[in-house]
Amino acid sequence: MTNLIQNSGNNNNPFISVVVPVYNEQEVLPEFLDRTSRVLEAREIDYEIIFVNDGSTDNSLELLNRFREKDPRIAILDLSRNFGKEIALTAGLDYSRGDAVIIIDADLQDPPELIPEFISAWQEGFDVVYGKRKKRQGETVLKRLTAYLFYRILQRASNVHIPEDTGDFRLMSRRAVDALCKLREQHRFMKGLFAWIGFPQRCILYKREPRYAGRSKWNYWHLWNHAIEGITSFSIAPLKIATYIGLITAFFSFSYGSYIIIRTIIRGCDVPGYPSLIVIMLFLGGVELTALGIIGEYLGRVFDETKRRPLYLIDQYLPSRTANGQ
Ligand code: UDP
Ligand code: MG
């Protein structure tokens, strides 16, 4: 019951902010706005939709401006360039004013029809209500497999419980948003940050649809970097693992070395000492480079954080013009 009071979900006439990161989404924006507004209006919810334009190079911004002229509940936060989804989300959360904030992708992979369910759970007292994918559709077996492995590894490597098959689609209470906004790290692994803040959380299962239109900005290189981000942000296990990899490599190298030495004794060799030398050199080089690379990943992140740059810059902010959000 105390949660009910603390997370402000008991407010009879709550004001909801919907934060939508937008990067070149002109094909989906009209349909997105249509579906989302329909869901929220049907429930007579007071809301604003904050579109965060993350440096789109297509007509997304013009489209958003046109939407805003017609609908006073629309706010536009125009970033000075493309900063990436994580930062766009953070900017949207910083500018949100709602008693609860919903984060949703513009591409309709997260069904807006789930929002009323999120709100009900929030009103029951949950601070964070997140959507969990029931089934992945329109994605290749390889993507499904890599996602599966990533979550499993992350779970093992970090102390924070990061729910699997969960994206950014979620509702957060005001206090959860305020807590999240205090985390100003440059390398923003959002799934981890969402989990780190804690508070009562509930998951709601949903079927993730394929993208409505347009193209995903993700590719395997991005996914790989995302995975490294997740692990280095939430765990120092790789630094420890480096030690063990060193030991294991040493073992195999020793076995291979023994084999070469024995073979050389039996069969002879053109240049005496050469095989054993090359084995030792390769072994040491490999282990050292791996360990250095891992240290480098962490050092690079320390470097980025020490610069203390602002997370994003705003070109312009056009707030919503709703009475409730003032
Ligand atoms: N997005 C963004 N900045 C970026 C890339 C993506 O704001 O640099 C937004 C994009 O417009 C969409 C959401 O983030 O609303 C998810 O992007 P996408 O569909 O490309 O990712 P996926 O669903 O494939 O993970
Ligand atoms: Mg998508």
- CATH number of the domain encompassing residue 170: 3.90.550.10
Using a pLDDT cut of 90, give the percent of the chain over it: 42
**Closest ligand to Cα 139:** 1
pLDDT-wise least confident of 103-112, 125-134, 179-188, 298-307? 298-307
pLDDT at residue 130 above 80? yes
Using a pLDDT cut of 70, give the percent of the chain over it: 92
Residue 52 located in a structural domain: yes
Same domain as 280, residue 171 = no
**Closest ligand to Cα 28:** 1
- pLDDT computed for residue 238 by the predictor: 81
Residue 39 located in a structural domain: yes
* Backbone torsions φ then ψ of 59, nearest 5 degrees: -90, 15
Name which residue sits closest to atom 23 of ligand 1, judged by CA.
Answer: 216
Whole-number Å distance between alpha carbons of 176 and 201: 10
Same domain as 194, residue 46 = yes
* Cβ–Cβ < 8 Å for 118, 112: no
211 DSSP assignment: P
- pLDDT computed for residue 4 by the predictor: 46
Residue 145 located in a structural domain: no
Residue of 31, 33, 60, 107 to mutate, ligand 1, most atoms within 8 A of C-beta? 107
Same domain as 241, residue 180 = no
Q: Is 275 close to ligand 1, i.e. is its CB under 6 Å away?
A: no
> Mean pLDDT, to the nearest integer, of 34-44?
89
**Closest ligand to Cα 53:** 1
pLDDT-wise least confident of 1-15, 118-132, 136-150? 1-15
Same domain as 258, residue 211 = no
pLDDT-wise least confident of 6-20, 37-51, 176-190? 6-20
Whole-number Å distance between alpha carbons of 104 and 263: 63
Atom of ligand 1 nearest to the CA of 217: 20
Same domain as 123, residue 261 = no
Ligand 1 geometric centre to CA of 7 (Å): 29
Same domain as 251, residue 190 = no
* Residue closest to 106 by CA, chosen among 27, 199, 166, 170: 27
Same domain as 292, residue 314 = no
3-state secondary structure of 12: coil
pLDDT at residue 3 above 50? no
pLDDT tens digits, residue range 162-220?
A: 887 888 999 999 999 999 999 998 888 888 899 899 899 999 988 887 777 777 777 77
Same domain as 253, residue 118 = no
Structure tokens at 52: 């965060």
Whole-number Å distance between alpha carbons of 49 and 56: 18
Same domain as 114, residue 166 = yes
Distances (CA, A) of 12 to 8, 103, 176: 10, 22, 19
Residue 228 located in a structural domain: no
Q: How many domains does the chain have?
A: 2
Residue 4 located in a structural domain: no
Q: Is 111 close to ligand 1, i.e. is its CB under 6 Å away?
A: no
Whole-number Å distance between alpha carbons of 322 and 310: 29
Structure tokens at 23: 């990067």
The average confidence (pLDDT) of the chain is 85
Q: Which domain holds residue 175?
A: 15-140+161-215+310-318
Same domain as 283, residue 314 = no
Atom of ligand 1 nearest to the CA of 21: 7
pLDDT at residue 261 above 60? yes
Residue 226 located in a structural domain: no
- pLDDT computed for residue 112 by the predictor: 92
pLDDT at residue 231 above 50? yes
Same domain as 245, residue 203 = no
Q: Which residue has the tokens 């706010």?
A: 75
- pLDDT computed for residue 250 by the predictor: 74
Q: Which residue has the higher pLDDT, 39 or 229?
A: 39
Q: Residue 257: CA atoms inside 13 Å, Cβ hemisphere, count?
A: 17
Residue 148 located in a structural domain: no
Same domain as 196, residue 60 = yes
Residue 10 located in a structural domain: no
